[in-house]
Structure 1
Amino acid sequence: MAIFAKKKSASLETLTLKRVGELVRKRLTQDPGAYQLPVDGLEIFGVARFFSETECNRLIAIVDSVARPSPTYKGTDATGRTSFTGDVDPNDPFIIMLQRRIDDLIGIDPAFGETIQGQRYHPGQEFRGHYDHFLPSQPFWDLEQRRGGQRSWTAMAYLNAVEEGGTTDFTRVDLSIPPQPGALLIWNNMKPDGTPNPNAMHAGMPVVRGVKYVLTKWYRARAWN
Structure 2
Amino acid sequence: MPDMWTISCLLFVVSISFAGIVSGEVFTAMADVEELLESEKEVVETLEAYLFAEEIRLEKIRRFTNEFKDLYAKASNDLESFISHPVNTYLFVKRLTSDWKEAEDVLNQQLGREYLEIIYKMRSNMPFPTDEDLTGVAIALSRLQDTYRIDSDHIAKGKIKGVSKSPQLSPSECFELGRVLYNFKDYDHSIDWMKTTLHRFDETPAVITADNGTIGVTRADAFEYLAFSNYMKGNVREALKFTNLLLAYEPTHERAQNNVAYYEKEIAAASQGRKRGDDGDTAMARKGTIELRPDSWENEKRTYQMLCRGEKQANASVARHLNCYYESSHPFLKIQPIKTELLHLDPKIVMFHEVASDKEIATIKTLAGPRLMRATVQNSLTGELETAHYRISKSAWLNSKDDRVVELINQRIGMLTGLDMDYAEELQIANYGIGGHYEPHFDFARKAESKAFTSLGMGNRVATFLLYMTDVEAGGGTVFPRLNLSLWPKKGSAAFWYNLYKNGEGDLRTRHAACPVLSGVKWVSNKWIHEYGQEARRPCGLQSDGFEPDEIDTDS
- SS class of match (2:377): coil
* TM-align CA RMSD: 2.4
Q: How far off is 1:56 after superposition?
A: 1.5
Q: Following superposition of structure 1 onto structure 2, how do residues 41-52 of structure 1 map, counting pairs within 5 Å?
A: 41-52=346-357
In structure 2, C-alpha distance between the alignment counterparts of 1:134 and 1:100, rounded to whole Å:
25
User: Which ranges of 4 or more aligned residues in structure 1 deviate by more than 4 Å?
Assistant: 28-32
Aligned partner of 1:45: which letter? V
Q: Which has the higher strand share?
A: 1
Does structure 1 retain, via aligned residues, the 8 Å contact 2:338–2:354?
no
Mark the CA change 1:99 to 1:29 in structure 2 (over 3 Å): closer, same or farther.
closer
Whether 2:458 is the aligned partner of 1:148: answer: yes
Distance in 2 between the 1:139 and 1:47 partners? Answer: 33
Structure with a larger share of its residues in helix: 2
Aligned residue identity for 2:338: G
Select which of 170, 188, 197 maps to 2:498: 188
- The separation in 1 between residues aligned to 2:466 and 2:387, in whole angstroms, is 22
Contact 2:477 2:514 in 1 (8 A): yes
> Would the aligned equivalents of 2:478 and 2:486 in 1 still touch at CA under 8 Å?
yes
1:122 to 418, 421, 433: 433
Q: Return the offset for 1:38.
A: 4.1
Question: What displacement does 1:106 show?
Answer: 1.3
Which runs of structure 2 are paired with 1:73-152 in the superposition (5 Å)? 73-75=378-380, 78-92=388-402, 93-141=404-452, 143-144=453-454, 147-152=457-462
Give the Cα–Cα distance (whole angstroms) in 2 for the partners of residues 36 and 50 of structure 1.
Answer: 13
**Quick one: distance in 1 between partners of 2:371 and 2:389?**
21
Asked if residue 164 in structure 1 is aligned to residue 469 in structure 2, the reply is no
> What is the distance in 2 between the residues matched to 1:127 and 1:147?
26
Deviations 1:50-96 (CA, angstroms, capped at 9, x unpaired): 10111122222223222110011124881111110111143122211
1:199 aligns with 2:199: no
Q: Greater relative contact order: 1 or 2 (C-alpha under 8 angstroms, separation 6 or more)?
A: 1
Alpha-carbon offset, residue 222 of structure 1: 1.4
- Identity of matched residues, %: 24
Counterparts in 2 of 1:34 and 1:188: CA distance versus 1, 3 Å: farther
Q: TM-score, normalised by structure 2?
A: 0.33
Partner of 1:175: 485
CA contact (8 A) 1:164 1:210 kept: yes
| Counterpart secondary structure, 2:392 | coil
Contact 1:41 1:199 (8 Å CA) reproduced = no
**Over alpha carbons, which structure has the higher Rg?**
2
Tell me how far apart the structure 2 counterparts of residues 200 and 36 of structure 1 sit (CA, whole Å): 18
Mark the runs of 5 or more structure 1 residues left unpaired by the alignment.
1-27
Q: Given the alignment, which residue of 209, 213, 217 partners 2:519?
A: 209
Count residues with an aligned counterpart: 197
1:68 aligns with 2:373: yes
CA distance in 2, matches of 1:112, 1:105: 15
User: Which residue does the alignment assign to 1:35?
Assistant: 340
Matches of 1:120 and 1:146, distance apart in 2:
24
Q: Give the superposition deviation at 1:113.
A: 1.3
Does the residue aligned with 1:144 lie in a helix, a strand or coil?
coil
Matched residue type, 1:150: N
Task: Give the TM-score of the pair, scaled to structure 1.
Answer: 0.79
AA aligned to 2:434 is P
Are the equivalent residues in 2 in contact too, given 1:29–1:35 (CA < 8 A)? Answer: no
Relative to structure 1, the CA distance from residue 196 to residue 136 in structure 2 (aligned partners, 3 Å threshold; closer, same or farther) is same
Q: Distance in 2 between matches of 1:119 and 1:220?
A: 20
Could you say if the C-alpha distance between residues 87 and 145 of structure 1 is closer, same or farther in structure 2, counting changes exceeding 3 Å? closer
Q: Which runs of 5+ in 2 are unaligned?
A: 1-326, 381-385, 535-556
Partners of 1:160 and 1:146 lie apart in 2 by 30
